[in-house]
Chains A and B, each alone.
Chain A
Amino acid sequence: MSTVATDIAACAATTFGRWRVVRAVAVKELLDIYRDARFRWLAALTLLLMFCALVFGVDQVQRTDRDRVAAAQGDRQLWTAQGAKDPHAAAHFGQYAFKPQSPLALADPGIDAYVGSAVWLEAHKQNEVQFRAARDNPLSARLSSLSLAFVLQAMMPLVAIMLGFAAFSGERERGTLRQLLSLGVRPIDLLVGKGLAIVGVLVAMLLPAFIGILISCFMFVDSSMFSLGDQVARLVWLALGYVLYLGGFAALALAVSAFSRTSRMSLVGLLAFWLINCFLVPRLMTDVVRNTLPLPTALEFRQAIVQDKKKTFGHDESHPAFVAFRDRVLKQYDVTRVEDLPVNFRGLSLREDDENGYRIFDRHFGTLQEAYYRQDRWRAAPGFVFPLLAIQPYSMGLAGSDTRGQYHFTRAAEQHRRAIQTMVSDDLIRNGRYGDSTYVAGPDLWARISAFSYRPPQAWWALSAQAVNLLVLVAWWLAAGLLAVYAVRRLRPI
């Protein structure tokens, strides 16, 4: 045995020596990766895509934000310039609430294109958020859409696979695995060394993307609405999610490489898994949950609300509920005619009808939202085997571009609608006279009613909603890691 071999064998026996072996393996692996032209091409392409995604993303986020700010200002002008009119007529005119795009939509635009961005806050009705941007896009946008999330979720696992598929099988084919093991290098040290090198490269490739997002947050974030610290916290958790996702892929690639007889088999198996994870299973699960946990149609949803609303009186003064309410109010004020009430009965009845409506809207919209959540939970369930199902909702959630984020906005908009209704009804109650259709409120009331101002939820809110998906990602990472350990323990040198 040569002196070098003896030294290595001696090193491999002590803790410090093992670390040196791990380091040597990692350095050698990094050198191999650097020399591999295939990797250089793939890495260059991936980084180029990241750059394009950032540039196009910044342009899109800024354009959307400009449009939103201009629209919100314009709507405010229209609201305050209404002139003197019946307060309830103003409530019918209503306001619009425009959804601000999360700054981290740059990292993951999520469902933003598939949900509306503006909602009309009018009297009596909770409207749905309108204008799905996806309706404007060409059909090709359904095939593939450039975003950092696409690069990180679909392209980066390929990089991990390219880095790891031949890690053990390649050594075996070249005969160097037998040499290494004969020197007393433990397979687990080989795994750690190679794993460190691969994860190091992946993290180095993730860094430009996250630094780019961070810089754009610092440059473009609207600090009146989004806290910078909160965005950074979201970004850190987002990065953790992607490290787990890609770390799992790296471990899986090493495991498959250790199991496979040839590098070609390893590559084919890993590519098949990549394809199933990134393209087949997401669509398959989408259809399974859509068919097994169906949502109501828009018509059914509307009809159910209309059915419940029939129990309330609206503007129908012959409705039994209206009569009952009037009798209750007369009794409360101890008078026999509504004209004798010290307050305006029309205003009171409008407020009562609104409040009855709120309970109905809360129930129906809440049930619909719960149905979305149920579908999302089931869709993400196989995420520990097919991690895209977990990283996708996790990434959208942290980026503030998921269904929960959208619902948070719709709830806030609805609360604002209710505040408008309450203020105009209260004005009518206090200042109007029953039967006097000439009463009008002035611009001071419109000015007192504030514009819609949205405070997006904080990072912890998004994180707590995504805790299960984070745990699933940890489980995926652990399972892939344990599989790699198991595989190297059974490592065959020949």
Chain B
Amino acid sequence: MTNMNVLVAAMRCEWRILRLDPALWLVLAMILGMVAYALYNGETLVARQAAAVAAANTEEQEPLAKLRKGLADIQASRVAPPDAPFRDPRNALFVGSGSAATNVALPAQPLAITAIGQSDLYPATLRVSAGSKDSFFFADEIANPAHLLSGSFDLAFVLVFIYPLWILALTYNLVSGEREQGTLALTASCPVQVRTVMAGKLLVRAGIPMLVTVAAVFAGLALIVGGTLASGGQALAVLSLAIIVYGAFWVVLAAAVNGLGRDSAYNALLLVAAWIGVLLIIPSLVNAWSEARYPSPSQAEMVLAVRAASADADRERNAALARYQDEHPQGTALQRGSYRERTLRRLAVQLAATARSEEIMAAHEAQLQRQHDLAGRLAYASPALLMHDALAEIAGTGRSRYRAFFAQVDRFHREWREFFISRAQAEQMLTSGDYSHFPQFSFADNPGTGILSRVASALIGIGVPVLLLAAMAARGLRRCRVVG
């Protein structure tokens, strides 16, 4: 018999045995049940976020319509212009910083329901105004903090935490089980390579949960996401690849442990220990070390610096006003409390706060980036960390897409400020024409960075230990003890 024939025969035999094992059907039932529930759950959360975005966009229209009407009334001399600048629909500074502020949102990608990622930590929309960035950037969505702490039962959780256990449950006694039953000696006495027979067994025992998981994910997504799934073809292909590669890590780990030639109880304990190490201990140490090495910057420090800048600007404005009044004792144009003085004061304070907050937030971002870079490098110590990150990237809820979003929000914020602040600085009133040309935000995914390129390094990071463990497993199985 050729090796290929032996492999096929071993796979057939294994399938006949395995289908009589209740453990297989229990695992398959769990796969279907958990994948279905996780996708349903993801869909519920994404739908809620979409509803929040829609509600925010609707809410935005009401004050805008009011402003337009107020402006039309003033222009048609139906009403007198208001005394207070913050009530004046022509006042560029107050309109851009307040009632006309616009909502921006990160659109969900077709596979968003597969991983909640960072999306539950950020609000569904940010309300960009002409004020300083800190005035809108730190807004939060209402969420029970205990729920954020525990995390959601999404597909990412199922794939990272539970999926390895399904594989391990069927493969932990691959060789040891045969040895304990005495059938390994029987196999070894036949004119076939034990390694080939074991490879056949492994392909069946690991292949079934892996393929059923991929199939369940495909079927679930097709049912829930439906037509829009077609636009996520690349994401779906990368998701399947990630499931296979991550599963392969656990399969070859089980094979390598079996290659040690110990009994089934030992294998089970060692594999559970590996699961705990890869999923719990290494990630917790990686996070603790990254945070200790590059601590998150103090937001309190930023609050204080922005307030100090605003207070300084306010004081400077007082001094400027006093100088003006000394030099123009009869002048009324800049009296304290006048329309013009209040606008100019607010402008000065806002500009100072913006400059300071941008400076500090950029420094904070750089500090955080160092922490994230370190955590990213250390993540290679745990395939679970890499898989977790990769799944969020595939779903479009990971760090890199949020970074891109915040960078685009930042650019949009500048554009928005430029539009309103430049008019305020020139003391120009807004016209109905201006209202039609308010800047619009539209998020664009960078076409240069496809999903595969974002997760390629993670997949390679999982793939390398797969190769090493596969070599170890092959060596171990070649030298495997036949009798206990």
A contact set with B: CB distance below 8 Å: 38, 45, 49, 52-53, 56, 59-60, 63, 67-68, 70-71, 74-75, 78, 81-83, 93, 96, 98, 110-111, 113-118, 120, 128, 130-146, 150, 154-155, 158, 263-264, 267-268, 271, 275, 279-280, 282-284, 286-287, 289-291, 294-301, 303, 368, 372, 375-376, 379, 392-393, 396, 402-403, 406, 437-438
In the complex, how many residues of chain B place their beta carbon closer than 8 angstroms to a beta carbon of chain A?
83
A113 to B291, CA, bound (A): 13
Cβ-defined contact, A67 with B272, below 8 A: no
A137 touches B291 (CB 8 A): yes
B268 A139 Cβ-Cβ under 8 A = no
**B304→A78 contact, CB < 8 A:** yes
In the complex, A67 Cα to B301 Cα: how many Å?
7
Interface of B is mostly: helix
Known: A132-B121, A298-B140. A144 touches B283 (CB 8 A): yes
Q: A155 to B146, alpha carbons, bound, how many Å?
A: 20
- Docked-complex contact B288 and A135, CB < 8 angstroms: no
**Chain B residues, Cβ within 8 Å of A282:** 150
Q: Are A49 and B281 in contact (CB under 8 A)?
A: yes
A98 and B287 form a contact (CB under 8 A) = no
Interface residue B265 (Cβ < 8 Å from any Cβ of A): yes
**Chain A residues, Cβ within 8 Å of B398:** 139
Interface string of B426-446 (1 = CB under 8 A from A): 000000000000000000000
Closest 6 CB pairs of A and B: A71-B300, A146-B284, A111-B145, A67-B298, A114-B145, A131-B299
Instruction: Pick the residue among B56, B118, B122 that contacts A299 (CB under 8 A).
Output: B56
* Interface check B123, CB cutoff 8 A: yes
Q: Give the residues in chain B near A138, CB-CB below 8 Å.
A: 287, 290, 371-372, 375-376, 399
Among residues of B, the one whose C-beta sits closest to the C-beta of A111 is B145
Are B121 and A134 closer than 8 Å at their CB atoms? yes
| Residues on A with beta carbons closer than 8 Å to the beta carbon of B59 | 299, 303
B388-A140 in contact (CB<8A): yes
Contact B153 A117 (CB under 8 A): no
Nearest Cβ in chain B — how far from A440, in angstroms?
A: 10
Closest approach, in angstroms, between the C-beta of B422 and any C-beta of chain A?
26
List, in ascending order, chain A residues with CB within 8 A of B329's CB: none
Contacts of A392 in B (CB 8 A): 146, 150
From B146, B265, B283, B292, contact of A379 by CB (8 A): B146
B471 CB-CB contact with A under 8 Å: no
Per the 8 Å Cβ criterion, residues 246-290 of B in contact with A are 264-265, 268-269, 272, 276, 279-281, 283-290
The prevalent SS among residues of A at the interface is helix
Q: Is the CB of B55 within 8 A of A299?
A: yes
Determine whether B151 belongs to the interface, using a CB cutoff of 8 Å to chain A: yes
Of A78, A132, A142, A379, which contacts B140 at CB under 8 A? A132
A141 CB to nearest chain B CB (Å):
5
* Residues on the B chain within 8 Å of A116, using CB: 140
Contact present for A139 and B55 (CB under 8 Å): no
Q: Is B52 an interface residue (CB 8 A)?
A: yes
**Contact between chains at A111 and B146 (CB < 8 Å):** yes
Judge whether B479 is part of the interface by a CB distance below 8 angstroms: no
Evaluate contact between A286 and B375: CB separation under 8 angstroms: no
Tell me the smallest distance from the CB of A274 to a CB of chain B, in Å.
Answer: 9
Q: Is the CB of B144 within 8 A of A372?
A: yes
A154 surroundings in chain B (CB, below 8 A): 280
Instruction: Look across to chain A and name the residue whose beta carbon is closest to the beta carbon of B51.
Output: A297
